A and B are shown apart, each in its own frame.
Chain A
Amino acid sequence: MLRYILSRLLSLCLSLIAASVVIFGVIEVIPGDPAAFMLGLNATDANIAALRAELGLDGTVVARYWGWVSGMMTGDFGISYTYRVSVSDLILDRIWISLPLAIYALILSTLIAFPIGLIAASARGTLADYGIMGGTQLGIAVPNFWFAMLLVLLFAVNLRWFSAGGFAGWDNPAAAVKSLTLPAIALALPQASILARVMRSALLDTLGQDYIRTARAKGLTRRQAVLRHALRNAMIPVLTIIGLQFSFLLAGAIIIENVFFLPGLGRLIFQGITQRDLIVVESVTMLLVFAVILVTFLVDIAYAAVDPRLRRR
Protein backbone atom coordinates (compact mmCIF):
# COMPACT_ATOMS: atom_id res chain seq x y z
CA MET A 1 0.00 0.00 0.00
CA LEU A 2 2.81 2.40 0.92
CA ARG A 3 4.62 1.52 -2.28
CA TYR A 4 1.47 2.24 -4.26
CA ILE A 5 1.08 5.65 -2.63
CA LEU A 6 4.73 6.47 -3.24
CA SER A 7 4.52 5.53 -6.89
CA ARG A 8 1.38 7.65 -7.31
CA LEU A 9 3.16 10.50 -5.54
CA LEU A 10 6.06 10.24 -7.95
CA SER A 11 3.66 10.37 -10.85
CA LEU A 12 2.00 13.44 -9.29
CA CYS A 13 5.36 15.23 -9.11
CA LEU A 14 6.25 14.32 -12.69
CA SER A 15 2.88 15.61 -13.92
CA LEU A 16 3.37 18.85 -12.04
CA ILE A 17 6.81 19.37 -13.54
CA ALA A 18 5.57 18.61 -17.05
CA ALA A 19 2.55 20.90 -16.62
CA SER A 20 4.65 23.75 -15.30
CA VAL A 21 7.03 23.44 -18.26
CA VAL A 22 4.09 23.57 -20.69
CA ILE A 23 2.53 26.61 -19.04
CA PHE A 24 5.85 28.41 -18.74
CA GLY A 25 6.59 27.66 -22.37
CA VAL A 26 3.23 28.90 -23.65
CA ILE A 27 3.22 32.09 -21.59
CA GLU A 28 6.83 33.15 -21.42
CA VAL A 29 8.60 31.60 -24.39
CA ILE A 30 6.15 31.49 -27.29
CA PRO A 31 5.17 35.20 -27.28
CA GLY A 32 8.81 36.19 -27.73
CA ASP A 33 9.30 39.12 -25.38
CA PRO A 34 6.62 38.91 -22.68
CA ALA A 35 7.37 42.44 -21.54
CA ALA A 36 6.68 43.94 -24.95
CA PHE A 37 3.59 41.76 -25.21
CA MET A 38 2.22 42.91 -21.87
CA LEU A 39 2.76 46.58 -22.57
CA GLY A 40 1.13 46.43 -25.97
CA LEU A 41 1.73 48.64 -29.00
CA ASN A 42 2.23 51.97 -27.25
CA ALA A 43 5.16 50.85 -25.11
CA THR A 44 8.40 52.75 -25.23
CA ASP A 45 11.71 50.97 -25.22
CA ALA A 46 12.45 52.40 -21.78
CA ASN A 47 9.17 51.03 -20.35
CA ILE A 48 9.86 47.65 -21.83
CA ALA A 49 13.36 47.59 -20.42
CA ALA A 50 12.05 48.56 -17.00
CA LEU A 51 9.41 45.79 -17.08
CA ARG A 52 12.00 43.29 -18.30
CA ALA A 53 14.13 44.14 -15.32
CA GLU A 54 11.12 43.91 -12.99
CA LEU A 55 10.10 40.51 -14.35
CA GLY A 56 13.68 39.29 -14.33
CA LEU A 57 13.48 38.57 -18.03
CA ASP A 58 17.14 39.16 -18.64
CA GLY A 59 18.25 35.77 -17.31
CA THR A 60 18.30 32.55 -19.34
CA VAL A 61 15.07 30.63 -19.92
CA VAL A 62 16.17 27.93 -17.49
CA ALA A 63 17.00 30.41 -14.77
CA ARG A 64 13.65 32.17 -15.22
CA TYR A 65 11.78 28.88 -15.11
CA TRP A 66 13.59 27.86 -11.97
CA GLY A 67 12.91 31.27 -10.41
CA TRP A 68 9.19 30.94 -11.17
CA VAL A 69 8.91 27.38 -9.87
CA SER A 70 10.98 27.90 -6.74
CA GLY A 71 9.01 31.08 -6.02
CA MET A 72 5.71 29.15 -6.26
CA MET A 73 6.97 26.50 -3.88
CA THR A 74 7.50 29.18 -1.23
CA GLY A 75 4.11 30.74 -1.99
CA ASP A 76 5.55 33.60 -4.05
CA PHE A 77 3.63 33.85 -7.33
CA GLY A 78 5.18 37.15 -8.41
CA ILE A 79 3.73 40.68 -8.57
CA SER A 80 0.72 41.37 -10.74
CA TYR A 81 1.62 43.93 -13.37
CA THR A 82 -1.79 45.63 -13.41
CA TYR A 83 -2.84 45.36 -9.77
CA ARG A 84 0.64 46.02 -8.43
CA VAL A 85 0.08 43.58 -5.58
CA SER A 86 1.45 40.10 -5.10
CA VAL A 87 -0.40 37.49 -7.13
CA SER A 88 -0.57 35.15 -4.15
CA ASP A 89 -2.63 37.78 -2.28
CA LEU A 90 -4.95 38.13 -5.27
CA ILE A 91 -5.36 34.37 -5.45
CA LEU A 92 -5.87 33.98 -1.72
CA ASP A 93 -8.64 36.58 -1.86
CA ARG A 94 -10.52 34.76 -4.56
CA ILE A 95 -9.80 31.10 -4.16
CA TRP A 96 -12.16 30.99 -1.18
CA ILE A 97 -15.01 31.49 -3.58
CA SER A 98 -14.04 29.26 -6.51
CA LEU A 99 -12.81 26.29 -4.52
CA PRO A 100 -15.75 26.08 -2.07
CA LEU A 101 -18.09 26.50 -5.03
CA ALA A 102 -16.52 23.56 -6.89
CA ILE A 103 -16.53 21.37 -3.78
CA TYR A 104 -20.09 22.36 -2.89
CA ALA A 105 -21.16 21.42 -6.42
CA LEU A 106 -19.25 18.13 -6.27
CA ILE A 107 -20.98 17.17 -3.03
CA LEU A 108 -24.40 18.14 -4.39
CA SER A 109 -23.78 16.24 -7.61
CA THR A 110 -22.72 13.10 -5.75
CA LEU A 111 -25.62 13.30 -3.30
CA ILE A 112 -28.11 13.63 -6.15
CA ALA A 113 -26.52 11.09 -8.48
CA PHE A 114 -26.00 8.15 -6.12
CA PRO A 115 -29.60 7.49 -5.10
CA ILE A 116 -30.88 8.25 -8.60
CA GLY A 117 -28.39 5.89 -10.23
CA LEU A 118 -29.16 3.22 -7.64
CA ILE A 119 -32.90 3.51 -8.18
CA ALA A 120 -32.57 3.42 -11.96
CA ALA A 121 -30.33 0.34 -11.85
CA SER A 122 -32.53 -1.55 -9.39
CA ALA A 123 -35.69 -0.64 -11.29
CA ARG A 124 -34.18 -1.41 -14.68
CA GLY A 125 -36.66 -1.39 -17.51
CA THR A 126 -39.47 0.13 -15.44
CA LEU A 127 -41.17 3.47 -15.92
CA ALA A 128 -39.01 4.98 -13.14
CA ASP A 129 -35.87 3.89 -14.99
CA TYR A 130 -37.06 5.37 -18.28
CA GLY A 131 -38.06 8.60 -16.52
CA ILE A 132 -34.70 8.94 -14.84
CA MET A 133 -32.79 8.13 -18.02
CA GLY A 134 -34.82 10.68 -19.98
CA GLY A 135 -34.33 13.33 -17.32
CA THR A 136 -30.58 12.76 -17.13
CA GLN A 137 -30.34 12.83 -20.92
CA LEU A 138 -31.86 16.32 -20.76
CA GLY A 139 -29.65 17.27 -17.80
CA ILE A 140 -26.50 16.44 -19.72
CA ALA A 141 -27.57 18.63 -22.63
CA VAL A 142 -28.09 21.77 -20.53
CA PRO A 143 -25.13 24.19 -20.43
CA ASN A 144 -24.55 25.00 -16.76
CA PHE A 145 -24.19 28.73 -17.27
CA TRP A 146 -27.49 28.91 -19.13
CA PHE A 147 -29.14 26.82 -16.45
CA ALA A 148 -27.69 29.35 -13.99
CA MET A 149 -29.44 32.17 -15.85
CA LEU A 150 -32.73 30.30 -15.70
CA LEU A 151 -32.25 29.77 -11.95
CA VAL A 152 -31.63 33.48 -11.50
CA LEU A 153 -34.71 34.23 -13.55
CA LEU A 154 -36.86 31.90 -11.48
CA PHE A 155 -35.51 32.11 -7.93
CA ALA A 156 -34.03 35.59 -7.82
CA VAL A 157 -36.18 37.60 -10.20
CA ASN A 158 -39.58 35.93 -9.93
CA LEU A 159 -39.63 34.20 -6.53
CA ARG A 160 -37.05 36.45 -4.84
CA TRP A 161 -35.75 33.57 -2.68
CA PHE A 162 -32.12 34.30 -3.45
CA SER A 163 -30.18 37.37 -4.43
CA ALA A 164 -29.35 37.48 -8.11
CA GLY A 165 -25.61 37.64 -7.56
CA GLY A 166 -22.71 38.93 -5.55
CA PHE A 167 -21.01 37.31 -2.61
CA ALA A 168 -21.77 37.98 1.06
CA GLY A 169 -18.29 37.14 2.35
CA TRP A 170 -17.23 34.40 4.74
CA ASP A 171 -17.73 36.64 7.81
CA ASN A 172 -21.29 35.42 7.71
CA PRO A 173 -20.99 31.72 6.78
CA ALA A 174 -24.74 31.15 6.40
CA ALA A 175 -25.10 34.04 3.98
CA ALA A 176 -21.95 32.96 2.14
CA VAL A 177 -23.28 29.43 1.66
CA LYS A 178 -26.60 30.87 0.55
CA SER A 179 -24.97 33.04 -2.10
CA LEU A 180 -23.10 29.98 -3.40
CA THR A 181 -26.19 27.78 -3.44
CA LEU A 182 -27.74 28.76 -6.79
CA PRO A 183 -24.34 28.63 -8.56
CA ALA A 184 -23.62 25.25 -6.99
CA ILE A 185 -26.98 23.84 -8.09
CA ALA A 186 -26.44 25.16 -11.60
CA LEU A 187 -23.05 23.47 -11.72
CA ALA A 188 -24.14 20.27 -10.02
CA LEU A 189 -27.26 19.25 -11.95
CA PRO A 190 -25.66 18.59 -15.35
CA GLN A 191 -22.77 16.75 -13.68
CA ALA A 192 -25.20 14.79 -11.49
CA SER A 193 -26.95 13.63 -14.67
CA ILE A 194 -23.70 12.26 -16.05
CA LEU A 195 -22.76 10.66 -12.73
CA ALA A 196 -26.18 9.06 -12.29
CA ARG A 197 -25.91 7.46 -15.73
CA VAL A 198 -22.41 6.18 -15.02
CA MET A 199 -23.59 4.88 -11.67
CA ARG A 200 -26.49 3.06 -13.30
CA SER A 201 -24.44 1.41 -16.00
CA ALA A 202 -21.63 0.50 -13.59
CA LEU A 203 -24.17 -1.11 -11.26
CA LEU A 204 -25.84 -2.97 -14.11
CA ASP A 205 -22.42 -4.23 -15.20
CA THR A 206 -21.58 -5.54 -11.76
CA LEU A 207 -25.06 -7.00 -11.33
CA GLY A 208 -24.33 -9.24 -14.31
CA GLN A 209 -21.16 -10.59 -12.70
CA ASP A 210 -20.81 -14.17 -11.48
CA TYR A 211 -20.26 -13.16 -7.85
CA ILE A 212 -23.72 -11.61 -7.71
CA ARG A 213 -25.15 -14.99 -8.71
CA THR A 214 -23.00 -16.60 -6.00
CA ALA A 215 -24.37 -14.12 -3.48
CA ARG A 216 -27.94 -14.87 -4.53
CA ALA A 217 -27.24 -18.59 -4.21
CA LYS A 218 -26.17 -17.92 -0.62
CA GLY A 219 -29.63 -16.55 0.08
CA LEU A 220 -29.13 -12.80 -0.28
CA THR A 221 -32.12 -10.90 -1.57
CA ARG A 222 -31.71 -8.83 -4.70
CA ARG A 223 -31.41 -5.67 -2.60
CA GLN A 224 -28.83 -7.21 -0.26
CA ALA A 225 -26.78 -8.36 -3.24
CA VAL A 226 -26.80 -4.82 -4.65
CA LEU A 227 -25.87 -3.12 -1.39
CA ARG A 228 -23.32 -5.64 -0.14
CA HIS A 229 -21.61 -6.65 -3.37
CA ALA A 230 -22.50 -4.59 -6.43
CA LEU A 231 -22.15 -1.11 -4.94
CA ARG A 232 -18.52 -1.29 -3.90
CA ASN A 233 -17.46 -2.91 -7.14
CA ALA A 234 -19.33 -0.27 -9.11
CA MET A 235 -17.40 2.45 -7.30
CA ILE A 236 -14.32 2.05 -9.50
CA PRO A 237 -15.76 3.59 -12.69
CA VAL A 238 -17.78 6.02 -10.59
CA LEU A 239 -14.64 7.30 -8.84
CA THR A 240 -12.98 7.86 -12.21
CA ILE A 241 -15.86 10.04 -13.30
CA ILE A 242 -15.96 11.94 -10.00
CA GLY A 243 -12.27 12.72 -10.47
CA LEU A 244 -12.81 13.94 -14.03
CA GLN A 245 -15.80 15.96 -12.92
CA PHE A 246 -13.80 17.92 -10.43
CA SER A 247 -11.80 19.50 -13.22
CA PHE A 248 -15.00 20.27 -15.12
CA LEU A 249 -16.55 21.74 -11.99
CA LEU A 250 -13.54 23.92 -11.36
CA ALA A 251 -13.65 25.18 -14.94
CA GLY A 252 -17.41 25.50 -14.69
CA ALA A 253 -17.10 27.46 -11.46
CA ILE A 254 -14.85 29.94 -13.25
CA ILE A 255 -17.42 30.42 -15.98
CA ILE A 256 -20.45 30.54 -13.76
CA GLU A 257 -18.93 33.25 -11.56
CA ASN A 258 -19.77 35.53 -14.49
CA VAL A 259 -23.47 34.81 -14.19
CA PHE A 260 -23.59 35.51 -10.47
CA PHE A 261 -21.01 38.31 -10.34
CA LEU A 262 -18.91 36.32 -7.90
CA PRO A 263 -15.42 37.79 -7.36
CA GLY A 264 -13.58 34.46 -7.72
CA LEU A 265 -10.64 33.14 -9.73
CA GLY A 266 -12.66 33.34 -12.92
CA ARG A 267 -13.05 37.09 -12.73
CA LEU A 268 -9.36 37.39 -11.88
CA ILE A 269 -8.21 35.35 -14.82
CA PHE A 270 -10.49 37.02 -17.38
CA GLN A 271 -9.37 40.43 -16.23
CA GLY A 272 -5.80 39.17 -16.45
CA ILE A 273 -6.41 38.16 -20.06
CA THR A 274 -7.97 41.50 -21.10
CA GLN A 275 -5.20 43.44 -19.40
CA ARG A 276 -2.49 41.15 -20.77
CA ASP A 277 -1.32 40.50 -17.24
CA LEU A 278 0.61 37.34 -18.05
CA ILE A 279 1.84 36.91 -14.48
CA VAL A 280 -1.70 36.50 -13.21
CA VAL A 281 -2.75 34.20 -16.08
CA GLU A 282 0.32 32.04 -15.65
CA SER A 283 -0.10 31.60 -11.91
CA VAL A 284 -3.84 30.98 -11.93
CA THR A 285 -3.67 28.39 -14.72
CA MET A 286 -0.87 26.63 -12.85
CA LEU A 287 -3.05 26.63 -9.77
CA LEU A 288 -6.00 25.15 -11.68
CA VAL A 289 -3.83 22.47 -13.23
CA PHE A 290 -2.33 21.71 -9.82
CA ALA A 291 -5.82 21.22 -8.39
CA VAL A 292 -6.74 18.81 -11.20
CA ILE A 293 -3.54 16.79 -10.80
CA LEU A 294 -4.01 16.66 -7.04
CA VAL A 295 -7.55 15.33 -7.45
CA THR A 296 -6.29 12.67 -9.89
CA PHE A 297 -3.85 11.59 -7.19
CA LEU A 298 -6.59 11.44 -4.55
CA VAL A 299 -8.77 9.37 -6.88
CA ASP A 300 -5.88 6.94 -7.39
CA ILE A 301 -5.57 6.55 -3.64
CA ALA A 302 -9.32 6.04 -3.38
CA TYR A 303 -9.11 3.25 -5.99
CA ALA A 304 -6.72 1.37 -3.76
CA ALA A 305 -9.04 1.84 -0.79
CA VAL A 306 -11.90 0.32 -2.80
CA ASP A 307 -10.02 -2.35 -4.73
CA PRO A 308 -7.62 -4.63 -2.84
CA ARG A 309 -6.13 -5.81 -6.13
CA LEU A 310 -4.33 -2.48 -6.43
CA ARG A 311 -2.73 -2.78 -3.02
CA ARG A 312 0.54 -4.58 -3.10
CA ARG A 313 1.77 -5.99 0.12
Chain B
Amino acid sequence: MNRVPTSFLIGAALSVVFVAAAALSFLWTPHDVTSLVIANRLQPAGGDFVLGTDQFGRDLLSMLMVGARTSIAVALVAVGIGITLGVPLGLAAAAARGSLLDEVIMRGNDLIFAFPSLVIAILITAVYGPSATNAIIAIGIFNIPVFARVARGGALSLWTLDYVLAARTAGKGRLRISAEHILPNIANLLIVQATIQFSLGVLAEAALSYVGLGAQPPLPSWGRMLSDAQTMIYSHPMLAILPGMAIVMMVLGLNLMGDGLRDMLDPRLRRRRQ
Protein backbone atom coordinates (compact mmCIF):
# COMPACT_ATOMS: atom_id res chain seq x y z
CA MET B 1 0.00 0.00 0.00
CA ASN B 2 0.95 3.64 -0.01
CA ARG B 3 3.68 4.82 2.22
CA VAL B 4 2.40 7.40 4.69
CA PRO B 5 4.25 10.70 4.11
CA THR B 6 6.43 11.98 6.95
CA SER B 7 4.77 15.39 6.80
CA PHE B 8 1.46 13.73 7.58
CA LEU B 9 2.90 11.93 10.61
CA ILE B 10 4.45 15.11 12.04
CA GLY B 11 1.31 17.13 11.35
CA ALA B 12 -1.00 14.50 12.79
CA ALA B 13 1.18 14.20 15.91
CA LEU B 14 1.08 17.97 16.50
CA SER B 15 -2.67 18.10 15.92
CA VAL B 16 -3.29 15.18 18.27
CA VAL B 17 -1.30 16.94 21.04
CA PHE B 18 -3.50 20.04 20.78
CA VAL B 19 -6.75 18.12 20.48
CA ALA B 20 -5.77 15.99 23.50
CA ALA B 21 -4.87 19.10 25.53
CA ALA B 22 -8.18 20.69 24.59
CA ALA B 23 -10.11 17.54 25.50
CA LEU B 24 -8.24 17.22 28.79
CA SER B 25 -9.09 20.83 29.67
CA PHE B 26 -12.76 19.86 29.97
CA LEU B 27 -11.87 17.49 32.81
CA TRP B 28 -8.80 18.94 34.37
CA THR B 29 -6.42 21.90 34.15
CA PRO B 30 -3.46 22.51 36.46
CA HIS B 31 -5.16 25.66 37.81
CA ASP B 32 -8.51 27.40 37.55
CA VAL B 33 -8.41 29.82 34.62
CA THR B 34 -11.26 31.99 35.84
CA SER B 35 -9.88 32.91 39.26
CA LEU B 36 -7.73 36.00 39.30
CA VAL B 37 -5.27 35.77 42.18
CA ILE B 38 -3.21 38.93 42.32
CA ALA B 39 -0.76 37.32 44.71
CA ASN B 40 0.23 34.90 41.94
CA ARG B 41 0.74 37.52 39.25
CA LEU B 42 3.70 37.25 36.87
CA GLN B 43 5.19 34.14 38.44
CA PRO B 44 8.18 32.79 36.52
CA ALA B 45 8.01 29.44 34.81
CA GLY B 46 8.71 26.32 36.87
CA GLY B 47 7.56 25.31 40.30
CA ASP B 48 3.84 25.34 40.87
CA PHE B 49 3.19 27.10 37.54
CA VAL B 50 4.90 25.12 34.79
CA LEU B 51 4.88 28.00 32.30
CA GLY B 52 4.40 30.84 34.79
CA THR B 53 1.44 33.19 35.22
CA ASP B 54 0.13 36.38 33.60
CA GLN B 55 -0.43 39.82 35.09
CA PHE B 56 -3.75 38.65 36.58
CA GLY B 57 -2.22 35.63 38.27
CA ARG B 58 -3.68 33.05 35.86
CA ASP B 59 -1.71 29.91 35.06
CA LEU B 60 -0.41 30.12 31.47
CA LEU B 61 -0.45 26.38 30.81
CA SER B 62 -4.08 26.13 31.88
CA MET B 63 -4.93 29.17 29.75
CA LEU B 64 -3.23 27.61 26.73
CA MET B 65 -5.13 24.35 27.22
CA VAL B 66 -8.51 26.07 27.40
CA GLY B 67 -7.44 28.39 24.58
CA ALA B 68 -6.82 25.34 22.40
CA ARG B 69 -10.35 24.25 23.16
CA THR B 70 -11.75 27.62 22.06
CA SER B 71 -9.66 27.62 18.90
CA ILE B 72 -10.61 24.10 17.90
CA ALA B 73 -14.27 24.59 18.71
CA VAL B 74 -14.55 27.80 16.71
CA ALA B 75 -12.61 26.46 13.72
CA LEU B 76 -14.41 23.10 13.76
CA VAL B 77 -17.90 24.57 13.80
CA ALA B 78 -16.92 27.14 11.17
CA VAL B 79 -15.64 24.36 8.89
CA GLY B 80 -18.84 22.43 9.61
CA ILE B 81 -20.92 25.42 8.50
CA GLY B 82 -18.85 25.74 5.35
CA ILE B 83 -19.20 22.06 4.46
CA THR B 84 -22.89 21.58 5.27
CA LEU B 85 -23.95 24.67 3.33
CA GLY B 86 -21.19 25.04 0.76
CA VAL B 87 -20.91 21.47 -0.53
CA PRO B 88 -24.62 21.01 -1.38
CA LEU B 89 -24.61 24.42 -3.08
CA GLY B 90 -21.53 23.52 -5.10
CA LEU B 91 -22.97 20.13 -6.06
CA ALA B 92 -26.26 21.72 -7.07
CA ALA B 93 -24.48 24.36 -9.15
CA ALA B 94 -22.45 21.70 -10.94
CA ALA B 95 -25.45 19.45 -11.52
CA ALA B 96 -27.33 22.38 -13.06
CA ARG B 97 -24.34 23.75 -14.91
CA GLY B 98 -25.03 26.88 -16.92
CA SER B 99 -28.54 27.28 -15.56
CA LEU B 100 -29.94 30.21 -13.63
CA LEU B 101 -29.44 28.28 -10.38
CA ASP B 102 -25.73 27.83 -11.13
CA GLU B 103 -25.42 31.51 -11.99
CA VAL B 104 -27.19 32.62 -8.80
CA ILE B 105 -25.12 30.34 -6.57
CA MET B 106 -21.83 31.38 -8.12
CA ARG B 107 -22.62 35.12 -8.08
CA GLY B 108 -23.70 34.74 -4.44
CA ASN B 109 -20.34 33.10 -3.76
CA ASP B 110 -18.48 35.95 -5.41
CA LEU B 111 -20.42 38.38 -3.26
CA ILE B 112 -19.46 36.61 -0.03
CA PHE B 113 -15.84 36.62 -1.19
CA ALA B 114 -16.03 40.42 -1.16
CA PHE B 115 -16.70 40.21 2.60
CA PRO B 116 -13.56 38.89 4.30
CA SER B 117 -14.36 37.21 7.64
CA LEU B 118 -13.07 40.29 9.47
CA VAL B 119 -15.65 42.47 7.72
CA ILE B 120 -18.43 39.99 8.46
CA ALA B 121 -17.29 39.90 12.10
CA ILE B 122 -17.30 43.70 12.23
CA LEU B 123 -20.84 43.85 10.87
CA ILE B 124 -22.18 41.19 13.22
CA THR B 125 -20.38 42.60 16.23
CA ALA B 126 -21.61 46.09 15.51
CA VAL B 127 -25.17 44.84 15.80
CA TYR B 128 -25.05 41.95 18.26
CA GLY B 129 -21.93 42.67 20.28
CA PRO B 130 -18.79 40.56 20.37
CA SER B 131 -18.84 36.83 21.24
CA ALA B 132 -17.26 33.53 20.26
CA THR B 133 -20.50 32.65 18.46
CA ASN B 134 -20.13 35.68 16.24
CA ALA B 135 -16.57 34.65 15.42
CA ILE B 136 -17.86 31.21 14.44
CA ILE B 137 -20.55 32.68 12.20
CA ALA B 138 -18.18 35.18 10.59
CA ILE B 139 -15.58 32.53 9.77
CA GLY B 140 -18.24 29.98 8.85
CA ILE B 141 -19.99 32.27 6.36
CA PHE B 142 -16.69 32.93 4.64
CA ASN B 143 -16.10 29.16 4.42
CA ILE B 144 -19.31 28.57 2.48
CA PRO B 145 -18.11 29.89 -0.89
CA VAL B 146 -14.74 28.19 -0.42
CA PHE B 147 -16.34 24.76 -0.15
CA ALA B 148 -18.94 25.58 -2.78
CA ARG B 149 -16.18 26.39 -5.26
CA VAL B 150 -14.11 23.32 -4.48
CA ALA B 151 -17.18 21.10 -4.70
CA ARG B 152 -18.38 22.68 -7.94
CA GLY B 153 -14.96 22.57 -9.57
CA GLY B 154 -14.42 18.92 -8.67
CA ALA B 155 -17.97 17.98 -9.60
CA LEU B 156 -17.84 19.72 -12.98
CA SER B 157 -14.88 17.65 -14.12
CA LEU B 158 -16.65 14.47 -12.97
CA TRP B 159 -19.89 15.34 -14.74
CA THR B 160 -18.08 15.12 -18.07
CA LEU B 161 -16.89 11.58 -17.37
CA ASP B 162 -18.44 8.60 -19.05
CA TYR B 163 -19.46 6.90 -15.83
CA VAL B 164 -21.81 9.75 -15.08
CA LEU B 165 -23.30 9.43 -18.58
CA ALA B 166 -23.60 5.70 -17.98
CA ALA B 167 -25.46 6.39 -14.74
CA ARG B 168 -27.81 8.68 -16.64
CA THR B 169 -28.50 5.99 -19.22
CA ALA B 170 -29.24 3.78 -16.21
CA GLY B 171 -32.07 6.20 -15.49
CA LYS B 172 -30.56 7.87 -12.45
CA GLY B 173 -31.45 11.49 -11.66
CA ARG B 174 -29.05 14.32 -10.96
CA LEU B 175 -29.61 14.17 -7.20
CA ARG B 176 -28.89 10.46 -7.07
CA ILE B 177 -25.84 10.78 -9.31
CA SER B 178 -24.52 13.62 -7.15
CA ALA B 179 -24.87 11.46 -4.06
CA GLU B 180 -23.64 8.15 -5.50
CA HIS B 181 -20.99 9.14 -8.02
CA ILE B 182 -19.95 12.75 -7.49
CA LEU B 183 -19.73 13.25 -3.73
CA PRO B 184 -17.65 10.12 -2.95
CA ASN B 185 -15.20 11.04 -5.69
CA ILE B 186 -14.68 14.62 -4.53
CA ALA B 187 -14.42 13.61 -0.88
CA ASN B 188 -10.62 13.71 -1.15
CA LEU B 189 -10.67 17.30 -2.31
CA LEU B 190 -13.09 18.24 0.45
CA ILE B 191 -11.06 16.56 3.19
CA VAL B 192 -7.90 18.36 2.12
CA GLN B 193 -9.76 21.67 1.86
CA ALA B 194 -11.28 21.08 5.30
CA THR B 195 -7.85 20.82 6.93
CA ILE B 196 -6.76 24.02 5.16
CA GLN B 197 -9.91 25.86 6.25
CA PHE B 198 -9.51 24.48 9.76
CA SER B 199 -6.05 25.98 10.08
CA LEU B 200 -7.24 29.26 8.54
CA GLY B 201 -10.08 29.18 11.07
CA VAL B 202 -7.60 28.88 13.94
CA LEU B 203 -5.70 31.89 12.58
CA ALA B 204 -8.89 33.90 11.99
CA GLU B 205 -10.22 33.13 15.46
CA ALA B 206 -6.95 34.33 16.98
CA ALA B 207 -7.08 37.54 14.95
CA LEU B 208 -10.71 38.27 15.83
CA SER B 209 -10.15 37.61 19.54
CA TYR B 210 -7.04 39.75 19.41
CA VAL B 211 -9.03 42.78 18.25
CA GLY B 212 -11.85 42.01 20.68
CA LEU B 213 -14.37 40.66 18.17
CA GLY B 214 -14.10 37.03 19.25
CA ALA B 215 -14.26 35.09 22.51
CA GLN B 216 -14.96 37.34 25.49
CA PRO B 217 -13.50 37.10 28.98
CA PRO B 218 -13.45 35.11 31.13
CA LEU B 219 -13.21 32.46 28.38
CA PRO B 220 -9.50 32.27 27.55
CA SER B 221 -8.44 32.31 23.93
CA TRP B 222 -5.02 32.54 22.35
CA GLY B 223 -5.82 35.79 20.55
CA ARG B 224 -6.98 37.45 23.75
CA MET B 225 -3.91 36.23 25.61
CA LEU B 226 -1.84 37.99 22.98
CA SER B 227 -3.74 41.25 23.26
CA ASP B 228 -3.48 41.07 27.07
CA ALA B 229 0.24 40.46 26.74
CA GLN B 230 0.83 43.39 24.43
CA THR B 231 1.36 45.94 27.19
CA MET B 232 3.66 43.53 29.03
CA ILE B 233 5.80 42.69 26.05
CA TYR B 234 8.77 44.80 27.20
CA SER B 235 9.01 43.30 30.65
CA HIS B 236 7.58 39.81 30.13
CA PRO B 237 7.96 38.78 26.48
CA MET B 238 7.16 35.13 27.28
CA LEU B 239 3.52 36.13 27.84
CA ALA B 240 3.32 37.01 24.15
CA ILE B 241 5.66 34.35 22.83
CA LEU B 242 3.93 31.28 24.30
CA PRO B 243 0.40 31.77 22.92
CA GLY B 244 1.90 32.74 19.56
CA MET B 245 3.96 29.55 19.53
CA ALA B 246 0.81 27.57 20.33
CA ILE B 247 -0.97 29.09 17.32
CA VAL B 248 2.01 28.44 15.04
CA MET B 249 2.40 24.83 16.15
CA MET B 250 -1.28 24.05 15.78
CA VAL B 251 -1.60 25.67 12.36
CA LEU B 252 1.65 24.09 11.20
CA GLY B 253 0.42 20.71 12.36
CA LEU B 254 -2.86 21.07 10.50
CA ASN B 255 -1.17 22.28 7.31
CA LEU B 256 1.37 19.47 7.33
CA MET B 257 -1.44 17.01 7.86
CA GLY B 258 -3.37 18.56 4.96
CA ASP B 259 -0.35 18.35 2.66
CA GLY B 260 0.25 14.76 3.65
CA LEU B 261 -3.41 13.91 3.07
CA ARG B 262 -3.26 15.51 -0.34
CA ASP B 263 -0.26 13.39 -1.26
CA MET B 264 -1.97 10.26 -0.04
CA LEU B 265 -5.38 10.93 -1.56
CA ASP B 266 -4.52 12.66 -4.83
CA PRO B 267 -5.16 9.96 -7.43
CA ARG B 268 -2.70 11.61 -9.85
CA LEU B 269 0.12 11.37 -7.33
CA ARG B 270 -0.94 7.90 -6.32
CA ARG B 271 -0.95 6.63 -9.87
CA ARG B 272 2.53 8.03 -10.37
CA ARG B 273 3.77 6.17 -7.33
CA GLN B 274 2.36 2.81 -8.38
Residue positions of A touching B, CB distance < 8 A: 14-15, 18-19, 22-23, 26-27, 30-31, 37, 137-138, 140-143, 145-146, 149-150, 152-153, 157, 244, 247-248, 250-252, 254-255, 258-259, 266, 269-270, 272-273, 276, 278, 281, 285, 288-289, 292-293, 296
Contact = CB atoms under 8 A, between A and B. Distances in A.
B122 A269 contact: yes
Contact of B252 (A26, A137, A266): A137
A149 B230 contact: yes
The 7 closest A-B pairs by CB, nearest first: A146-B244, A141-B251, A251-B118, A141-B252, A281-B126, A251-B116, A141-B248
14 contacts: A19-B114, A23-B123, A141-B247, A146-B243, A149-B230, A153-B240, A157-B234, A247-B114, A248-B116, A251-B119, A255-B207, A272-B126, A285-B122, A288-B119
B255 A137 contact: yes
B206 interface: yes
Category for how many chain B residues contact A? 35 or more
Given A141-B251, A149-B244, A152-B233, A270 B111 contact: no
Given A30-B127, A146-B248, A281-B122, 4 more contacts: A18-B107, A137-B256, A138-B252, A289-B115
A27 B119 CA distance: 12
B219 to A, nearest CB: 19
A140 B211 contact: no
Contacts of A153: 233, 237, 240
A248 to B, nearest CB: 7
Contact of A15 (B110, B233, B251, B255): B110
B123 A26 contact: yes
A293 B113 CA distance: 9
A278 B212 CA distance: 17
B266 to A, nearest CB: 12
Contacts of B227: 258
A33 to B, nearest CB: 12
Interface of B: 107, 110-111, 113-119, 122-127, 199, 203, 206-207, 210-213, 226-227, 229-230, 233-234, 237, 240-241, 243-244, 247-249, 251-252, 255-256, 259
A255 B211 contact: yes
Contacts of A273: 122, 125-126, 213
A138 B255 CA distance: 9
Given A149-B244, A255-B211, A285-B123, A18 B111 contact: yes
A166 to B, nearest CB: 15
A146 B226 contact: yes
A39 to B, nearest CB: 15
Contacts of A276: 126
Contact of A145 (B111, B199, B210): B210
Given A137-B252, A292-B114, A293-B114, A27 B123 contact: yes
Given A18-B111, A153-B233, A26 B127 contact: yes
A273 B214 CA distance: 13
Contact of B255 (A37, A140, A244, A259): A140
A208 B107 CA distance: 33
B123 A143 contact: no
